[in-house]
Structure 1
Amino acid sequence: MKRLNAIFLMLCALYAVPAWSLHTVKGIIKDKETHPVIGASVIIRSLQDTLNHKGCITNENGQFIIEKIESGKYSIEISFIGYTDYRQEFELDQSLDFGEIVLAENTMLLDEVVVTASMVKRFADKKEYKLTNIEKEQYSSALSALEHLPKIQVIDQTVNSVDGKAVKILINGIPSTPTDLSVISSENISKLDYYTQPPIQYSNMGLGAVINVITKEKHNGGSVGINTQNAVTTGFGNNAVNFKYNWGNSQLGVTYNINYRNYNKRILDEDMSYAVGGITYQKQKNGKKSPYAYEQQMAEISFNNSKSDNYIFSTKLSFNSLNRRRSSAQDIISTVNDRVFEKIGQSSDKDKYISPALDMYFSKTFNAKHELTMNFVGTYYKSDYNYQYSELSDGLTDFETATDINLDKYSLIGEAIYNYNMKTAQLYVGSRYMYNNSTQKNLSSNNHTLTNEIYSYIGVTGMLGKKFNYSVSAGVNGNIFTTIENKEYKFVYFRPQVKLSYFIDESSDLTFNYEVNTDNPAVSSLTYNPYYKDANYLFAGNPNLKPSNNHDLSLSYFKSFKKFVLNAEVAYSYDKDAIAPVFQSDDTNIIETFGNLDNAQNMKASLFLQWYPFSNNILRLRLYSEVFHQINAFGNEKWNHTGYSFIPSINLAYKKWGVSVFYQTEKKSLVGQTMKTIPSMASVEVSYSPIKNFTLTGGIRYPFYDSWKQITSVSGTSLLQRTETERIINNANMVYINLVYNFAFGKNKPNLKLKMQNKDKDSGILNRY
């Protein structure tokens, strides 16, 4: 918490005047519900000379301490937005502890507490949000509290931006996950650092934002967090439990998370038509209710040791596993050159993996200007995939296909970044190395794939005057692929990034961003592994894939009023050699594979609105909408699509009750030579918090729907017409219960020096893989 501590010391120094005695005045500022008031202004003023005064602001525990005060008569003046000013006269002839001072709420100003710009601080590369105690009570956990941030949505213990992009989570500067946040009380949040334009080290991850959650000072003792979400109408659950114990500068944590699905009404329909060798094949497959289930588990033990403004060390050892099964039964009408056959189709696919991982993180600060951060991640995957499909005619097998893949994969990721903090700018230099070694055990030879990537970068970010913010960086990406055919490919890309922001006034800004990224093919895409989907239609990987090179430009306008937030953006991307599904023909078979498109272009305009219509802020209305146009080119083919998305939501919070309504339209978009949909979704939730740190929520998902539905179709090629519709009827009108409970035990750290409790644990460094 370096920034908070720095502000604390500066303000104390500004108010200070020399030649005072060595008496000390201290105390704790709280509200009527005994929550600490963070950032309150405290001034000690001499009654003999009102110009003679000292002061500071309260830390994250609501504490203040003012030293070196002469004997005499004084007044203490305390103020904070949303509360009535406090003033008391006293005579000082020895050190004085005021104990707890309770501020009364100013109901005339309460409507300004949440949304005024004073609760949002703007920095060169981020916005800092502080939640009031009233706001924290509206959220069941630190994870759900992220929805306080513009354009962030939380569903099923996952965090995304409203445009569907992933969000990277840090806790006190340490790489973390949404699961970690789901078992932390919202009351434990000190502030939220919101990076809407991820720094260069995140630029090739497709992120919509980076969020660093700064928590309050750790206590000596422990905490337990539970977050369970389980359906009562079908097999659906997301559950996490966490235990943490703190002592001195150290913390030990244990987390277990299990997500499961167990459905019995999955239906897979498919219409397909293609011609090969002068023969036309057509199939209409009507699915029957079939099972679908999986269990995804994570067990983790973590250890952190840190000293404010000095170092952070964190290590995590985790074990991850997945076991997924699904099958499908279908009635088939098959037509071959106008001859009609009736068949029964049966498919089964199973995939599972186990994956231990070790994640080590270290950050060290030198002389407040220099900071070195290192991260090492080692991961092992042992995965198995089995797929079987058969068609029966009159009880006899007419067609069957199968594939069995066993893969061992080792990966190492290491990154180091150095920061140098100047008066108005920050210089950073970093390098990341990634190594993947995979062996396909089901093949006796030509079964080895090796990838190496190194990414080095240098950049500077800072302010030009008070209105302009800049961030300029340059990186070089080098890739070496060795395929199962023992062919080696080398690629080098130059990756610049430029971000320019103009601060129009205290509550509005205009931001331009341009960056170049690379997208490397996944090991699964490089692995050949052919198998037939139909008699003359097969799927295979492509060992000859190369990385794609993506150019992104965007212009964003942000405006915050007292009760209203507006964020408009226009963006354009040009992806050369985009990696995407494509279809080919060898005159014998139709081949579905991954290829490098000539280019893929995307133009988008979006608008985000947020409004608190009432003075007590019990109601929050949100709306995100976007329209986009895509153009893909591959060989002699060129195709396009125009789509849209519309996501409104309503949140009502009154005392211990809450109501949330969410809806999103179906979104269709091009992915290579396929058209894929993000399904429409709706939910209604009612929550109740009978006691502190305990929230019980009941909800219904997909109300008035007949199923969850996702459609994938072929687009941009005449080789094949195919539409696949997957439906899960179990999800329709699904009723679920969410229970969140957090409790702590132990006591505060000994108050040896107040400045030790005033430190900000924000490392200020962002690097995660």
Structure 2
Amino acid sequence: MQKTLLLLFFLVLWTSLNAQINITGLVQDEAGHPLEGAVVSLVSDGTKEKQNAISDANGRFGLAVNKDKHFDNLLVTYLGYADYHVRLENVVHDLYLGEITMLPVERTMQEVEVVGQREIQKIDRKIIIPSKFQLKAATSGFGLLRNMQLSGIRLNTIDNTIRTSTGEPVQLRINGVKTTVAEIKSIRPHDVLRVEYYDMPGARYAGAAAVIDIIVRYKERGGNVSGDLTNGISMLGFGEYQLSANYHEGKSELKAVAWWNRRDLKWIRENTETYHYNDRTLTNREIGDPTKAKFNNFDFSLWYSYAVNKSVFSVIFRDRYNHVPNSTTDRISTLYTENKTYRINDFMRTHDNSPSLDLYFHTMLPHQQTIYFDLVGTYIGSGSNRKFTLFETGHNDQDFVSETTGRKYSLIAEGIYEKMFNRSKLSFGVKHTQMYTKNSYSGTIENLVKLNTSETYLYTEWLSKLGKLTYTLGLGVMRIYNSQANNSLSSLIFRPRLSLAYNVTNSLVIKYTGYVSGYAPSLSNMSDVSQDIDIYQLRRGNPNLKAVTFVSNSLSVDWATKWLNVGLYGRYSYDHKPIMEETLLENQRFVRTMNNQRGFHRINTRIDFKLHPFGDWLSLQVTPFFNRFISNGNHYTHTHANWGMRGQLLAMYKQWLLAAEMETSQHSLWGETLDKEEASHNIALGYNKDKWAVQLVVANPFTTLYTTEVENLSRIAPANKLAYSRNLRRILMINVSFNLDFGKAKTAGNKRITNTDENTGVLHGR
């Protein structure tokens, strides 16, 4: 009996000592969106003992506290938001704190550095918090992305592009809104709270290679006026100018962005073409003269948004106008062939205008449910005029003239439903695109082409977590329909998806993504029309093209330490029956056309080394890469391998910035065309203050020529086309930016989906 009582006594004592109280809650921003990565701390006044937890992807957190422990305060912190404090008294049972709403910090954070984990690895993305030095050294959102040195991302300051390491375009967003490079440049760096980098995007991004979403805070009863102006000093034909303004009053926000990008320079082209006829072989060699290339690109966008409670409505008007009086493919050259000499003039003018209206709405429902709607209408009007002249002294000129006028109308509608659970998320989505195109071709050949195109995509996706393993299962189906005259195409493509992420340790993460996707033929390739290229060749559309199935498998390993980050990335992808070129000989003319070929394989690998021995003061990134391509046509097989290296050095001290970057030539093979991009390097020295900044940039200072090369590997009509310019090397540029800020910071509601249509659908003879 005494043993039993003694056992019961110790059991009661052990239970009382180990009894736990669970404190739970949900952290969200003022727009009602969950905040992932918030630090939740229990703090004792007397002993200063602390216990921490981190909010998950749904904003939820949980703390288990032994009853014998005594904590007086709960503190929630998140970079860019004011601390949230709760006084705890007489807590003896489980406590649910409900929804904790974080408000943006009202004071300036320029002199405050929050040290902690700046990069959070998730299954489909990395959440990265920029450091104080990275923010100070940037004059725009574009510059901030450069300073953050995102793995697998290439920023080109010459042509203002953001691409993956494999050359694919990156989908850009601001607070979830699909946006443009011009609007990224309008971002004030100190308004950036975090950058969400989707290196393995989910099903809702519909095949995007990568997504960069910059989360920013806006103004309350005030706004911002900013400018970013770049002009060449050694070459006055280089200019880029951006102005933006935003104003916030109560629940409303108004924002405008204008951007002008111009080039005026000269190219020289050298072409070698060989034509294998049935009874003879002809080789042409062209030596080019300096030829003018000039273009002006204008972008304008006007945003209005209204946020109330947990709903956001926005209207965005965008207009893009491109005017190219002198195409970059223009040429004045001397042609040497069959002991004869000819002169060639090949000039082309193009323009297009694409206004669009975007209506967006999202609302949060009870029980962690959210609905998103987006409707976009776009009109694209385009025109081009090309004249090719081949002349010989004492003989009649041979002219080919073509004029095209294009009209395209499109409507894109998308809806998404999301439901959050404790450690999981369920999504459903549907997207429909309807397009009508009417292109008129006149000149040497006349034709009228009308195309109707529609694409419907439905998907569902489940994300969940099991211990250290996070997984995503997705299933989608896409229907594609095209019709032109009496020809029509209808196909159904299933799009399954699997993503896995395993946290081996806090510093080692392994990710895998595999999916099946598809794409339809472009409208220009489906045009039932032919266009003369020159006296030897013509380009022809193919209305019988079929949709393509695409398969991708990616594996990445990321390892991070205090001074060194290493990332390994590998990807194998395959296009089944891809739409690639082929060349035919008909009536002594070589026809360049497109067809569904057998298959295309690509292997992309890279290793990222990021060394930061002195914190953010000095950062060095080196990325060796290897790409392998195998192009299997119906009547050809081509392979190509490309080794290369990219590097970037950033040094920051107080208000000063020194940046240097280099990249070897990036090659890409598709069909029978091998593109070899230019090798480039740049050096920048800048000085930044709170409201203004100035930078001197030297582009390609250690090269004599800026060169690109294109090879056509056709068996019957191979060609090599070399283009180079002395205007695009040793360019000294000055960049001046300013920010005039007024009002208090406030986070606006996030727009999560936006759709755009920018393809004119016109077939050109070149």
What is the TM-score of this pair, normalised by structure 1? 0.83
Report the equivalent of 1:568: 568
For the residue of structure 1 that corresponds to 2:141, the secondary structure is coil
Structure 2 matches for 1:215-234, cutoff 5 A?
215-216=216-217, 218-234=219-235
Q: For residue 731 of structure 2, what is the amino acid of its counterpart? A: M
Report the equivalent of 2:681: 682
Compared CA separation, residues 428 and 438, structure 1 to 2 (3 A): same
Report the equivalent of 2:193: 190
For the residue of structure 1 that corresponds to 2:403, the secondary structure is strand
Q: Distance in 1 between matches of 2:375 and 2:259?
A: 23
Report the equivalent of 2:538: 538
Q: For residue 192 of structure 1, what is the amino acid of its counterpart? A: V
Report the equivalent of 1:57: 76
Compared CA separation, residues 304 and 2, structure 1 to 2 (3 A): farther
8 Å CA contact retained: 1:158, 1:178:
yes
Out of 403, 426, 451, which is 2:453 matched to? 451
Q: Distance in 2 between matches of 1:704 and 1:135?
A: 27
Compared CA separation, residues 266 and 13, structure 1 to 2 (3 A): closer
Shift of 1:134: 3.2
Summarize deviations over 1:643-693 as a string: whole Å, max 9, x none: 12211111111111111111111122211111111211111111111x213
Q: Does 1:714 align with 2:712?
A: yes
8 Å CA contact retained: 1:8, 1:57:
no
Compared CA separation, residues 62 and 522, structure 1 to 2 (3 A): closer
Summarize deviations over 1:618-659 as a string: whole Å, max 9, x none: 111111221122111112322211112211111111111111
Report the equivalent of 2:3: none
Deviating more after overlay: 287-296 vs 149-158: 149-158
Structure 2 matches for 1:572-583, cutoff 5 A?
572-583=572-583
**CA-based RMSD:** 2.9
Q: Distance in 1 between matches of 2:732 and 2:702?
A: 12
For the residue of structure 2 that corresponds to 1:135, the secondary structure is helix
Shift of 1:549: 0.9
Report the equivalent of 1:38: none
Structure 2 matches for 1:56-95, cutoff 5 A?
56-58=75-77, 63-64=82-83, 66=85
Shift of 1:738: 1.4
Q: Distance in 2 between matches of 1:462 and 1:470?
A: 6
Compared CA separation, residues 536 and 463, structure 1 to 2 (3 A): same
Report the equivalent of 1:553: 553
8 Å CA contact retained: 1:60, 1:217:
no
Q: Distance in 2 between matches of 1:398 and 1:195?
A: 55
Shift of 1:761: 4.9
Report the equivalent of 1:404: 403
Q: Distance in 1 between matches of 2:39 and 2:504?
A: 27
Summarize deviations over 1:226-268 as a string: whole Å, max 9, x none: 11222122211222110101001111011111111111x2112
8 Å CA contact retained: 1:315, 1:360:
yes
Shift of 1:161: 2.7
For the residue of structure 2 that corresponds to 1:218, the secondary structure is strand
Summarize deviations over 1:517-569 as a string: whole Å, max 9, x none: 11222112222442333323211222222221111111111111112111111
Q: For residue 212 of structure 1, what is the amino acid of its counterpart? A: D
8 Å CA contact retained: 1:610, 1:621:
yes
For the residue of structure 2 that corresponds to 1:449, the secondary structure is strand
8 Å CA contact retained: 1:554, 1:570:
yes
Aligned residues: 681
Compared CA separation, residues 448 and 705, structure 1 to 2 (3 A): same
Compared CA separation, residues 529 and 397, structure 1 to 2 (3 A): farther
Deviating more after overlay: 2-11 vs 572-581: 2-11
Structure 2 matches for 1:470-485, cutoff 5 A?
470-483=471-484, 485=485
Q: For residue 723 of structure 1, what is the amino acid of its counterpart? A: N
Compared CA separation, residues 504 and 14, structure 1 to 2 (3 A): same
Summarize deviations over 1:561-589 as a string: whole Å, max 9, x none: 11211111121111111122321222522
Shift of 1:103: 13
Compared CA separation, residues 463 and 66, structure 1 to 2 (3 A): closer
Shift of 1:279: 3.8
Q: Distance in 2 between matches of 1:747 and 1:475?
A: 43
For the residue of structure 1 that corresponds to 2:190, the secondary structure is helix
Compared CA separation, residues 68 and 140, structure 1 to 2 (3 A): same
Summarize deviations over 1:52-81 as a string: whole Å, max 9, x none: 5113134655634546689xxxxxxxxxxx
Q: For residue 583 of structure 1, what is the amino acid of its counterpart? A: T
8 Å CA contact retained: 1:173, 1:761:
no
Compared CA separation, residues 682 and 518, structure 1 to 2 (3 A): same
Summarize deviations over 1:63-111 as a string: whole Å, max 9, x none: 34546689xxxxxxxxxxxxxxxxxxxxxxxxxxxx9999998xxxx9x
Q: Can you give the 5+ residue segments of structure 2 that lack an aligned partner in the other structure? A: 1-25, 46-67, 90-105, 757-766
Out of 245, 248, 251, which is 1:249 matched to? 251
Summarize deviations over 1:36-61 as a string: whole Å, max 9, x none: xxxxxxxxxxxxx9935113134655
Q: Distance in 1 between matches of 2:489 and 2:581?
A: 21
Q: Distance in 2 between matches of 1:760 and 1:289?
A: 51
Compared CA separation, residues 531 and 251, structure 1 to 2 (3 A): same
Report the equivalent of 1:201: 204
Q: Distance in 1 between matches of 2:76 and 2:419?
A: 28
Identity of aligned residues (%): 20
Report the equivalent of 1:150: 151
Q: Does 1:505 align with 2:520?
A: no
Shift of 1:475: 0.8
Shift of 1:137: 1.0
Shift of 1:719: 0.8
Q: Distance in 2 between matches of 1:668 and 1:217?
A: 41
Q: For residue 251 of structure 1, what is the amino acid of its counterpart? A: E
Q: Distance in 1 between matches of 2:179 and 2:665?
A: 31
Q: Distance in 2 between matches of 1:468 and 1:477?
A: 29
Report the equivalent of 2:698: 700
Summarize deviations over 1:284-335 as a string: whole Å, max 9, x none: 1100011110001012211012246x12222211121111123321011112
Deviating more after overlay: 511-520 vs 162-171: 162-171
Shift of 1:121: 2.5
8 Å CA contact retained: 2:267, 2:292:
yes
Q: Does 1:469 align with 2:488?
A: no
Report the equivalent of 1:301: 302
Q: Distance in 1 between matches of 2:221 and 2:647?
A: 43
Q: Distance in 1 between matches of 2:596 and 2:491?
A: 14
What is the TM-score of this pair, normalised by structure 2? 0.84
Summarize deviations over 1:162-208 as a string: whole Å, max 9, x none: 33222222222222223222122111111222221111122434x2x
For the residue of structure 2 that corresponds to 1:663, the secondary structure is strand
Q: Distance in 2 between matches of 1:9 and 1:618?
A: 25
8 Å CA contact retained: 1:583, 1:673:
no
8 Å CA contact retained: 2:38, 2:78:
no
8 Å CA contact retained: 1:412, 1:435:
yes
Report the equivalent of 2:19: none
Report the equivalent of 1:40: none
Report the equivalent of 1:274: 275
Compared CA separation, residues 500 and 61, structure 1 to 2 (3 A): closer
For the residue of structure 2 that corresponds to 1:462, the secondary structure is strand
Deviating more after overlay: 705-714 vs 676-685: 705-714
Report the equivalent of 1:94: none
Q: For residue 82 of structure 2, what is the amino acid of its counterpart? A: Q
8 Å CA contact retained: 2:424, 2:462:
yes
Report the equivalent of 1:180: 183
Q: Distance in 2 between matches of 1:9 and 1:726?
A: 49
For the residue of structure 2 that corresponds to 1:509, the secondary structure is strand
Summarize deviations over 1:405-458 as a string: whole Å, max 9, x none: 111011111111111111111111111111111111346865201111101111
Q: Distance in 1 between matches of 2:164 and 2:439?
A: 36
